[in-house]
Amino acid sequence: KARYRLWKDQNSDLVILPASSPLYDGEARNELTYHLQAGWDPVLEGDIDGERAETTELESKEPRFGSIQAARRVARTVFLATAPSAVSPRQTSRRGVERSRILLGCVQPGQASSTYSDALNRLADRLHYLNTTGDKTQDSTRYWFDTRANLRREMEDRKRRFDDAQDLRPKLAEVLRKLAANVALFDGVHVFTHHADIPDDAGLRLVVLPPERFHSRSETRVAPEAVLDVGRNNGTKPRYRGNRLLFLAPDHDILARVRDCLRTALAWKSSCDDVHAGRLNIDLNHKRQAEKELETSESVLPKAVRECYRWLLCPSQSAAGASHPGVEAFVLNTSGGTVGSELERTCTENELVISTWSPIHLRNRLKELYWKDGRTSVAALAFWEDTLRYLYLPRLRRRDVLAQAIVKGAATRDFFGTAYGEGGGKFEGFKLGDSNVQLDDTLLLIEPEAAAQYAAAQAAQPKPNASPNPTPTPTGEGKTPAVGTPPSTGGGPTPQPTPPASPKARAFHGHVGINASTAKMRLVQIADEIIAILAEDPNAEVTVSL
């Protein structure tokens, strides 16, 4: 009947092979399935041959397959080679047929075997009842049809169940946290965090944007809008230290692939969980396959996510008078090194974060913005606070970077003078060319010319002469003893008065003015340096009024 059907359909195959079997014909199909157990009809109609089969649909979409019926011929070959083993217990230990044997049953003289090999790879991902022993890219992998649906198709069905917001987003956040675990440049990494939960402090922070806040060369609005929104707001309050934030954004063109990888990993995880819980009944080979596929899909995720999150976005402002801030985008190299090393390299090369600062740059900034309009000094910590807030100022990695620049600059007379207070036209603790300085809330940086003039004026002032110690006048007859001198009692030496012992302090009252811009830092300093010391006394009663 099969040969008659081929003759009737004018089959032009040079050699009648297993792939030539007319399984689309009802009589030929019944003749073949008569010797098999029940349940093969849906396998033949859905996966192998027929108008509604997956192979027919694939050939209609792929002309290179349809021109030679590559998908149907591959499916027929696998069916004829493996279906009998379903009823033969002796063959179950070595089940399936290898790729080379499948191609041998398909290829006609003059045809390229690569087309059939590609069709086999596509069918391994699409067909419900086609099973494999492992990775389809390996030549030793074996293929066979069974009346039970295969795990890969089960996984494909499960992939459609997962929701982007409820399932994919938490999994993506988990992968990103693992990737960012070795990032040492930043004081904090915030993955998909609302701006209300990102601290507004002096710490340098990396904000990882969610997938809907993507960036690409063609779409440059979505992610920058999110960057500026986080830089302006801290919940319901305005953000004051917006110059401490950098942002990592996904590439729009790679997001689809990442979502597919996430769905695949979640589907295999769900299948393995159901197997262990007894909700999915499969044999030992399928169980091992599911566990191997889960391991493979999990190992693919970090690389795929890293390739997607390849945009480092930095809010910037060209000058103090610029009307609106902008956002600069830098492409990260995702092929080598770790995420932390690549972020540090990009930030250092593009001066997005400064870890070592020269005093000449500090002097230039002070001249440009602070030493003007008759003002010749600026508080060092006021400049540090401004670098935390304003985008046109450098983004220093830590306060120690500014302290090191001040120490280097104070060692010469070329950059600035230093003092620890100013009042009445005089600088307290004035130094010029002395590196023995400490960055605190009283340190002033003085414009170098003004500092030189002040030093010259100080040197020109005459030093007061030290008056000699007065010689006590001996007390004699007719002379009044000096004030404070006890009366003489005789010819012996006059006893010296014993100074009274100073009473121990029993109370402390303090009052300090606090600048609003440095309030948090000053309150912590007061708590550490004053309140903590007083509270160490178990008998002390400490009351603080703010």
pLDDT digits (tens, 9 = 90+) for 401-422: 999 999 999 999 999 999 999 8
Helix 399-410 to helix 380-389 angle (10° resolution) is 140
- Alpha-carbon span 543 to 39, nearest angstrom: 85
The Cα-based distances of 179 to 175, 198, 295, 317, 484 in angstroms read: 6, 20, 18, 30, 80
Which residue do the tokens 């087309």 mark?
A: 115
- Alpha-carbon span 454 to 477, nearest angstrom: 56
Q: What is the DSSP string of 278-303?
A: TSS---HHHHHHHHHHHHHHHHHHHH
| DSSP code at position 471 | P
- The amino acid at residue 174 is E
CA dihedral 386, 392, 394, 400 (to 10 degrees): 10
Q: Which two tokens stand for residue 166?
A: 């409820």
Contact 403, 410 (CB under 8 A): no
Contact 444, 379 (CB under 8 A): yes
Q: Convert the pLDDT of each residue in 318-333 to its tens digit.
A: 888 777 899 999 999 9
Average pLDDT over residues 218-227: 91
Label residue 370 by pLDDT band (50, 70, 90): very high
pLDDT-wise least confident of 128-137, 232-241, 392-401: 128-137
Residue 533 neighbours by CB distance under 10 Å: 11
Going through 421-513 in order, the beta strands assigned E by DSSP cover 422-423, 426-427, 444-446
pLDDT-wise least confident of 118-132, 261-275, 345-359: 118-132
- Alpha-carbon span 162 to 160, nearest angstrom: 6
Contact 224, 207 (CB under 8 A): no
Q: Which two tokens stand for residue 277?
A: 């819980």
Helix, strand or coil for residue 328? Answer: strand
Contact 204, 183 (CB under 8 A): no
Average pLDDT over residues 218-230: 92
How long a stretch of residues is the chain? 546
Residue 379 neighbours by CB distance under 10 Å: 18
Label residue 473 by pLDDT band (50, 70, 90): very low
